[in-house]
Amino acid sequence: MVSNTDSSEALAQRLSDSGLRSTPQREVIYNLLLKKRDHPTAEEVFARAKPELPMISLATVYNCLEALVQCDLVRTVNFERGPTRYCPNLHPHAHFHDTKTGATHDIDLPAGLIDQVKSILPPGFEASSVEIIFRGKANTAPTQPTP
Partner DNA sequence: ACTAGGAATGAGAATCATTCTAATTAATTA
Partner DNA sequence: TAATTAATTAGAATGATTCTCATTCCTAGT
CA atoms within 13 A of residue 36's CA, in its CB half-sphere: 11
Residue 37 binds a second copy, judged by CB under 8 A: no
Between CA 21 and CA 135 the distance in angstroms is 37
Using CB under 8 A, which of 1, 111, 126, 144 touches a second copy?
126
Q: Which stretch binds a second copy (CB under 8 A): 2-10, 13-21, 34-42, 131-139?
A: 131-139
Question: What, of a second copy, DNA, none, does residue 134 touch, CB below 5 to 8 Å by kind?
Answer: a second copy
Q: Positive or negative, the Cα torsion across 31, 33, 35, 41?
A: positive
Using CB under 8 A, which of 36, 103, 135, 143 touches a second copy?
135
Between CA 1 and CA 84 the distance in angstroms is 32
Q: How far is the CB of 132 from DNA (least distance, A)?
A: 20
